[in-house]
Chains A and B, each alone.
Chain A
Amino acid sequence: MRQKKYVTIILTLLLMILLYSIPVLISSQYVLRICVYVCIYSILACSLNLIAGVCGQISMGHAAFYGIGAYGSALVCINYGIPWVLCVLIAALLSGMVGMFIGIPALKLSGGYLVICTVGFGELVRLILLNWVSLTRGPMGIVNIPRPVIFNTKIKTGGQYYIVALTLFVIIYIILHNILNSKFGRNLKAIKEDEIAAETMGIRVHREKVIAFAVSAAMAGAAGAMLAHYMLFISPTIFVGDFSTTILSMVVLGGMGSMPGSVIAATLLTVIPEALRGLDKYRMLIYGLLLICMMLGKNVSWESTIPGRKLASMKTAVLTKHIKNRKGVK
């Protein structure tokens, strides 16, 4: 048991070293750009996974929180000249608060009703961004967003941006990991399985859902802040319902409730469209087909392809069989 723990720690460290040395190993600005997007989309997928995968409350408005974070951070930075790290926190707080206010009524609904409700919310945010011209400059978008400054260093190169985005992703991933391994995470899993039983065991179902929704929204907001100060230009066309669907498909492809799965799926769904650029006009056609094939081939979550998990599930199967046989003898 202890040995296994050490192996996990060493593997994690190696992976971290590898990820952080990417800018040293690769000099192509194009590849680094994709890597930054992988980080941002991984944050989005993992945060949506908390509410949709772990807690079972499907939300189709995640791009809206991403947008609120991006606009919030950009506007605060331009108008008040606040340091970027604070901007990220403000963006997260803002998104989280909006998430909470929307979550309180919306999470009284479940299943299809909740999905439609969040679609409506996403559309609402997009329309506000598009039409509140005095604040958001409407369809013209916000330009000249300042680059982040961290420890008196202005982040300029692709490599630097990648390190910042990766760090943000790692922080959020650790937070999610800690949540899942705590009472809070366990309560969310229980709510997904059976709300009535969860309530009987003393879990305040609605409150837990709202908090999870707010945490998830706050994380999407942080991802938005990263995007705004990387692209240096944002417009309402980025934060459309289509993009919410893309994030949700990352969560579903990666396996509901599996954080490593979400990261792998976010990576695949970012890299594949780029890899298909050579196909020109057939690109999205092939991408769509690939997506269908991946969903069909997935069957079970990515986790079951990890050897340890497979072994555990096989062990369970053998034990169940054994118990059944023994019952038969009786």
Chain B
Amino acid sequence: MGLLSVNGICKSFGGLAAVSDMSFEVSNGQIISIIGPNGAGKTTVFNLLTGFYECDEGSIIFREEEISNLPPYEYVNKKLTRTFQNLKLFPNMTVLENVLIGYQSCITYSRLDAILNTRKKRLGEQKAREKAMEVLQSIDMEQYAMEKCSSLPYGVQKQLEIARAMVSDPQLLLLDEPAAGLNPQETEQLAVFIKGLPAKGYSVLLIEHDMSLVMSISDYIYVMDYGKLIAQGVPEDVQQNEQVIEAYIGRGGFKHVIGS
């Protein structure tokens, strides 16, 4: 039994089937990628997995528990956290505060403790701060801790979003195009970083357009087009798959180009 198994989920908006009969699995310690042309329904799958959309059909089993159609805030407690395609940080808060928000589900003192500023609250805050600084240190960002997030370069912000997701202690990280907008050097660093995640106890489900990144770090790849799963396999197989090439380049167009 895998960590996550998705069985035949469907989602349509009006007459448009954004995702139809999509099934896949993620096992512990794996890096799994979902690729496909723009509009194939990849991000919709993420939204279904994290409760932002409701599944029309199908089931999502995570850690042997049905998790489809929960309210979005429940997923952190189920140990599943995501990042977003367009950065969703808290721009006017400091880097440290951003990470602390990621950690908030692990902070246990009550609101009354907060109002009365009890010892429990102060200890809880101190522990949270230490943990947050630890995480920032592990990604070499402790020098930015007190900076406003919006003042950081884009690449650093991207990394911070992953760090924020990591502190909530998930077993599965859903990364939605983490390399979008990064330069080649930053992408290379990101590849090394993601590759190191399974060793730290995080499994990864990745959506990405940067093929060299996907091919170099994935254990297994699922390919989507028009909301359907069209191919799957290890990177070498997927690269050779006719249907995948067709989905990305288009058969007719390609022949036409060659013909002329």
Contact = CB atoms under 8 A, between A and B. Distances in A.
Contact of B90 (A197, A202, A312, A319): A197
B114 interface: yes
B73 interface: yes
A88 to B, nearest CB: 16
A178 B115 contact: yes
A193 B92 contact: yes
A299 B90 CA distance: 22
A211 B112 CA distance: 12
B105 A202 contact: yes
Interface of A: 175, 178-179, 181-187, 189-190, 193-194, 196-205, 211, 312, 316-317, 319-320, 323-324, 327, 330
Nearest to A324: B153
Q: Which 7 A-B pairs have the closest CB atoms?
A: A202-B76, A182-B114, A193-B90, A197-B88, A202-B105, A199-B72, A178-B117
A186 B100 contact: yes
Contact of A183 (B75, B114, B185): B114
B104 A312 contact: no
Contacts of A203: 73, 101, 104
Interface of B: 50, 52, 71-77, 81-82, 84, 88-93, 97, 100-102, 104-105, 107, 109, 111, 113-117, 121, 124-125, 128, 146-148, 151-153, 164, 168, 185
Nearest to A202: B76
A190 B93 contact: yes
A186 B101 contact: yes
Contacts of B153: 320, 323-324, 327
Contacts of A187: 101, 104
Given A194-B88, A196-B88, A205-B73, A182 B121 contact: yes
A189 B114 contact: no
A188 B88 CA distance: 16
Contacts of A205: 73
B158 to A, nearest CB: 14
B48 to A, nearest CB: 14
Given A189-B97, A202-B105, A182 B125 contact: yes
B120 to A, nearest CB: 11
A319 B97 contact: no
A201 B116 contact: no
Given A186-B100, A203-B104, A193 B93 contact: yes
10 contacts: A184-B114, A190-B101, A193-B91, A194-B89, A197-B90, A200-B75, A201-B168, A202-B73, A319-B147, A323-B153
A320 B151 CA distance: 6
